[in-house]
Structure 1
Amino acid sequence: MANPADFTVEDLPSGQVLRLSGNFAIASIGDVDRSLREISDAVCEIDISGVTHMDTVGAWLVYRTAKEHNAQITGGAVDASRLIDAVRGVDQAEVAVKPRSSSFHRFLAEVGGGVVVSITTFLQFLGFVGQVVKAFFSLLMNPRRFRWHAVVQHFDMVGVRALGIVGLMSFLIGIVIAQQGAVQLRQFGAEVFTINLIGRLTLRELGILMTAIMVAGRSGSAFAAQIGTMKITEEIDAMRTIGVVPVEALVVPRVIAAVVMMPLLGIFASLMSIIGGGLLCWIVLDIPPATFVQRLREVTPMTDFWIGMIKAPVFGAIIAMAGCFQGMQVKGNAEQVGLKTTAAVVQAIFLVIVLDAFFAVFFSEIGWG
């Protein structure tokens, strides 16, 4: 590099004088920096009149050397002096040090932040539910705006295409319930009560609950991803521009489809669980299918069936609204679609389980236990 940075040391009666010369820029001061650090004798003056160019890094090098030797900086152009004064001001400025917090305080801060986010999200979700209810009644008053073809399309996605996975899952759950129940009841010679366990548990709880969890993971996530993608591509803004209400066009058809299909999927799942449990009872416990069906009719009250049918549409509405709500919350970039889709599944499953616990207590209190 032309005119590289350099220095000389001159001994005077008043002390050593350090005379700098050349280009004091970041690209040319590497060797000079190491040499200046090796100077052990006291320097009383630093002359920068020979410096042809200086940047911020060079000014910091000169200021640091002067500070180490308590030397005076002389000579130099006006611009170089301003740079050195600016560096001196930064070095002398008071830096506010963030106080270190304990692990317990950080834990409390994270918990508090999580609680605030949860409450805020819950309140926003309640507001979204209100918008859906308002849009539903608005469509009742203006049925011509209702999109029947969208509802039928979501019937296919939520219900028909889910039959395979829901049926297989329910069939295997019925086998697991029967096998575990038979193993435990065999200790007391009461294998026949496995039928009671299968009938009441599948119709009352697991048939509907597992179906809801499966629909939340399958359809709820799809709702969030579809609407979230439409938010990013500004399709929802375009709908508002042409006078279409997004909640009416996108959310209400999905909610109706989930509400209608959940009871049907629940019935199908319960039947498949009973078939799976009956098959295992026939093979392992030597209980003929006719005896299994007769015993099932005797020990399973119709209230268990109606409890499942009451819970199913509520679960369907919660799953659909949770998915659509998280989809509407997407902002910014495509990464938000994945985050909100995950949040939709977690929120839907959490609300379904909380509501299931509420229903269990409620039906026990009214004598349907």
Structure 2
Amino acid sequence: MSEGASFSLQQQEDGTTVLALAGPYLVSTIGAIDKDIREIEVGFTLVDLTEVTEIDTVGAWLACTVARDNGADVTGASERGQRLMDAVGASENDSVMVPESLGLFTHVSALTGQRMADFSRGLRKMVGFLGQLILAFGSLLRHPGRFRTKALVRQLQLVGIDSLAIIGLMSFLIGIVIAQQGAVQLAQFGAETLTVNLVGRITLRELGVLMTAIMVAGRSGSAFAAQIGTMKLTEEVDAMRTIGISPMEALVVPRILAAVLMMPLLGFYAACMAIIGGAVISDVTLGIPFWNFIERIQDVVPVYDLYVGLIKAPVFGLIVALMGCYHGMQVAGNSEEVGARTTQAVVQAIFMVIVLDAFFAVFFTEIGWA
């Protein structure tokens, strides 16, 4: 029982049991008795609303539901109560609601359309973000005193120096794998010595910078998205705008520049570590002395292979940093969005890097750098 709305079971002279409702049966008053009134175990044949002082749609629905579940009639309702009871009773439907089942073709078409619409909106936002970035660079060129040198140096350390160990180890192992597996295949043709050509060209031209870009995307791109996204959630970005600091200049530009500047160095470093790995395994398993392997690299690898890697590296760095910063600035709502945007930043950065690498491969082949 509850103060306000209440109920009681009354025994009539003819032996029938009546559920008598009393007080205001409104959405604000029946919450406390809703469970109790539904758990009545004594059977009754009549629901009496004579003592109900006020009733709304929720109260009428409760009375109708209790009466229907027990097979009872309703009596004593006021004129307003009776209208609500009739309206609620007319809306009752015991049929099972089954969602419409779309055919496979319709479902796939609708899903594809939704994905394309999302892609279109995301592309427009990305173009807008790129425009803001260009404006921020232009503003810094006009007012170089606003450029945050310390922030750039910090990001150079995080993107470049702090990643030397993991990138070096990864590249060293990749060089070992390429040399070992390549030697096994070349041995079938008696051309084990061409392992030097294989390791040198594939690492300087492709794998060195490509694997570095993937590693930077997973390491630094995700950090960019998470850091900026968290600042968005805690309203630090809004606070920066309030005090007249451009978030693009303070947060995005240093990260973009750090990735663009460090990627060529990291890519070259990765290629060198891969070559060292190939030289080590060749010395151990193929009988090619370590220093002979290194000297042979200079003879068999054309210099334009180095140029190809160095040209691609800053573009890959720009893509990785752009994706990380863009998705970080798009975070809104809750902390779950930070994780979702961080995942999108890494996936899209790696995808775009691989796509651009394919375009670069075709382009350099067409100009004769194959």
Q: Normalised by the size of structure 2, how large is the TM-score?
A: 0.85
Q: Aligned-pair distance for 1:252? A: 0.9
Q: Aligned-pair distance for 1:225? A: 1.0
> Residues 137 and 31 of structure 1: is their aligned pair in 2 closer, same or farther, counting only changes over 3 Å?
closer
* Counterpart residue number, 1:336: 337
| Alignment coverage as a number of residue pairs | 350
* Counterpart residue number, 2:184: 183
Q: Aligned-pair distance for 1:98? A: 5.0
* Counterpart residue number, 2:215: 214
Q: Deviations over 1:119-168 (max 9, x none)?
A: 32123212212221221122112111111111111111111111000100
* Counterpart residue number, 2:9: 5
Q: Which amino acid aligns with 1:183?
A: V
CA distance in structure 2 between the partners assigned to 1:344 and 1:30 by the alignment: 53
Percent identity between the two aligned chains: 51
* Counterpart residue number, 1:268: 269
Matches within 5 A, 1:355-366: 355-366=356-367
Specify every segment of 5 or more residues in structure 2 that has no aligned partner in the other structure, as ranges.
Answer: 23-32
* Counterpart residue number, 2:65: 60
Q: Which amino acid aligns with 2:301?
A: T
- The answer to whether the aligner puts 1:288 opposite 2:289 as a matched pair is yes
- The answer (yes or no) to whether the contact 1:3–1:22 under 8 Å persists in 2 is yes
Q: Which amino acid aligns with 1:20?
A: V
CA distance in structure 2 between the partners assigned to 1:79 and 1:141 by the alignment: 73
Q: Aligned-pair distance for 1:235? A: 1.3
CA distance in structure 2 between the partners assigned to 1:364 and 1:286 by the alignment: 34
> Residues 152 and 28 of structure 1: is their aligned pair in 2 closer, same or farther, counting only changes over 3 Å?
closer
> Residues 261 and 74 of structure 1: is their aligned pair in 2 closer, same or farther, counting only changes over 3 Å?
closer
CA distance in structure 1 between the partners assigned to 2:13 and 2:66 by the alignment: 16
SS in 2 for 1:5: strand
Q: Aligned-pair distance for 1:234? A: 1.2
Matches within 5 A, 1:1-369: 4-5=8-9, 20-23=18-21, 26=34, 27-28=36-37, 30-31=39-40, 35=43, 48=48, 55=59, 56-62=61-67, 74-78=75-79, 80-91=81-92, 99-369=100-370
CA distance in structure 1 between the partners assigned to 2:139 and 2:89 by the alignment: 69
> Residues 246 and 49 of structure 1: is their aligned pair in 2 closer, same or farther, counting only changes over 3 Å?
closer
SS in 2 for 1:342: helix
- The answer (yes or no) to whether the contact 1:216–1:345 under 8 Å persists in 2 is yes
* Counterpart residue number, 2:28: none
Q: Deviations over 1:214-264 (max 9, x none)?
A: 011111111111111111111111111122211111111111111111111
Task: Please provide the CA RMSD for this pair.
Answer: 3.0
Q: Aligned-pair distance for 1:76? A: 4.4
Q: Aligned-pair distance for 1:57? A: 2.3
Q: Aligned-pair distance for 1:211? A: 0.3
- The answer (yes or no) to whether the contact 1:225–1:337 under 8 Å persists in 2 is yes
Q: Aligned-pair distance for 1:31? A: 4.2
Specify every segment of 5 or more residues in structure 1 that has no aligned partner in the other structure, as ranges.
Answer: 12-17, 40-45
Q: Deviations over 1:279-319 (max 9, x none)?
A: 01110000012321232222100010000000001111111
SS in 2 for 1:231: helix
Q: Aligned-pair distance for 1:20? A: 2.9
Q: Aligned-pair distance for 1:112? A: 2.1
Tell which structure's C-alpha radius of gyration is larger: 1
CA distance in structure 2 between the partners assigned to 1:47 and 1:120 by the alignment: 57
CA distance in structure 1 between the partners assigned to 2:92 and 2:339 by the alignment: 45
> Residues 142 and 102 of structure 1: is their aligned pair in 2 closer, same or farther, counting only changes over 3 Å?
same
